[in-house]
Amino acid sequence: MHYLREAACKNNLIFVRYRILFVEKDAKIFIAGHRGMVGSAILRKLSALGFYNVLLQTSDELDLRNQQAVADFFSAQKPDYVFLAAAKVGGILANNRFRADFLYENLAIQNNVIHQSYTHRVKKLLFLGSSCIYPKLAPQPLKEEYLLTGLLEPTNEPYAIAKIAGIKLCEAYHDQYGCNFISVMPTNLYGYNDNYHPEHSHVLPALIRRFHEAKTADEPEVTVWGSGAPKREFLFADDLADACVFLMESYNDSQLINIGTGEDLSIRELAHLIKDVVGYKGELAFDASKPDGTPRKLMDVSKLHALGWHHATALKSGIRLAYGDFLARLETELH
């Protein structure tokens, strides 16, 4: 990497900013969590751009919760850049059921990777947070400055607290030591290599599985958890990967930045959209006894748009791609 100096005139004042450019194709890039949906998307993006010296460790090879193991890895490999996409993740049921696990394990993972990135002078680190960091009843759309202005959604509070700690840790190393550590907040994600567990997955992949199984079994009705009223925004994971690489190149501020589409829809509308893509012909029922979670989560992406990045994948097109991936994985499991 080298730094391109750019000068511009604004309000008759000259200001200078530095844009980091990926030019070292042999740079050591560590993707923490490369087998997950986000990490694998980042790996695909980097590979497509010609980066070949990517450090990949499975959880069996490197337990990121283990402080000494992470220290030994950084000492031996000395990565130049880090994408911190590793996390313990799950849907609303898993977040609420495994509260201690979600808090402890995510704190351990990010503390170890961020601190060792500082210790071993990583040139730049990108930390991936989550839109659940924002207060449950924050004004919509969610602006970056709304962080820590109200109470969190109780069902995923432990996960959110861990992610907030990661954001603040990156800020602290940025401010105290001058580390180029940035934090990005993606909206709800879906795509290739998603988690389709019947209980522990997020809403979009869970509905893909539920509708497919109902279609296969010729069931007359599918029950969707909650009232269907909450509104959510969804971003295809490969679009997120593109945004992450874009921000690794062009963003150096300690303040977090949102990544999303700036568009949302109700869970009811989402269910009908997935039903159509899957080709399920039965009826829908909504179980209002199940928790809805936050009423609305729409990201304000004006900051990202001002930098010049916009998403490329329309929701229905992305769902078609995700469903195709689900079917391919299902076929592999059967054989």
Residue type, 54: V
| HSE, side-chain direction, 13 A CA sphere, residue 73 | 27
Secondary structure (3-state) at 105:
helix
**Token reading at 317:** 């097109």
97 annotated ligand binder: no
Residue 123: C-alpha distances to residues 3, 120, 166, 177, 264 (Å): 12, 9, 18, 12, 36
Is 188 part of any known ligand binding site?
yes
Q: Is 99 annotated as a binding residue?
A: no
Q: Give the per-residue pLDDT at 334.
A: 60
187 annotated as ligand-binding = yes
Please state, in angstroms and rounded to a whole number, the distance separating the CA atoms of residues 147 and 189.
20
DSSP state of 262: S
Dihedral angle of Cα 209, 213, 219, 223, to the nearest 10 degrees: -20
Q: CA dihedral in degrees (245, 250, 256, 258; nearest 10)?
A: -60
* CB neighbour class for 71 (10 Å; exposed up to 12, middle 13-18, buried from 19): middle
Known catalytic residue at 104? no
Omega cis (within 30) before 141: yes
pTM over 0.85, yes/no: yes
Q: Is 43 exposed, middle or buried (0-12, 13-18, 19+ CB in 10 A)?
A: buried
Residue 129 CA: distances (Å) to CA of 142, 258, 334? 14, 9, 34
Predicted confidence at residue 90, as pLDDT, reads 74
Among candidate residues 55, 15, 22, 58, the one with its CA nearest the CA of residue 245 = 22
Q: Which domains does the chain have, with CATH numbers?
A: 2-191+234-262+297-313 (3.40.50.720)
Residue 37 labeled ligand binder: yes
Query: What pLDDT, on a 0 to 100 scale, did the predictor assign at position 293?
Result: 76
Specify whether the CB–CB gap between 242 and 304 falls below 8 A: no
| Residue 248 predicted with pLDDT over 50 | yes
For residue 258, which of 288, 300, 294 has the smallest C-alpha distance? Answer: 300
Q: What is the pLDDT of residue 15?
A: 30
**For residues 146 and 139, what is the distance between their CA atoms, to the nearest angstrom?**
8
Q: Which residues contact 153 (CB under 8 A, 6 or more apart)?
A: 132, 136, 160, 293, 294
3-class DSSP state of 49: coil
Strand 296-297 to 231-232 pairing: parallel
- Would you state the structure tokens that stand for residue 291, as one six-digit string? 């928790």
8 Å CB contact between 325 and 193: yes
Average pLDDT score over residue span 271-289: 96
pLDDT, residue 16, reads: 33
- How far apart (Å, rounded) are the C-alpha atoms in residues 286 and 329? 28
Angstrom CA distances, 174 to 75, 87, 167, 246, 254, stand at: 21, 22, 11, 19, 6
Instruction: Give the model's pLDDT for residue 259.
Output: 98
* 273/105 Cα distance (integer angstroms): 35
pLDDT (average), residues 300-306: 98
Is position 225 annotated in a ligand binding site? yes
**What are the pLDDT digits (tens) for 73-103?**
999 999 999 999 999 887 677 777 889 999 9
CA dihedral 142, 145, 151, 157 (to 10 degrees): 80
Q: In this predicted model, what pLDDT tens digit does every residue of 130-189 receive, in sequence order?
A: 988 999 899 999 999 999 999 998 888 999 999 999 999 999 999 999 999 999 999 999
Instruction: State how far the Cα of 84 lies from the Cα of 31, in Å rounded to an integer.
Output: 6
Radius of gyration for the chain, computed over Cα atoms and rounded to the nearest angstrom: 20
Which of the following is catalytic: 81, 118, 134, 159? 159
Say if residue 39 carries a ligand binding annotation. Answer: yes
186 marked among binding-site residues: yes
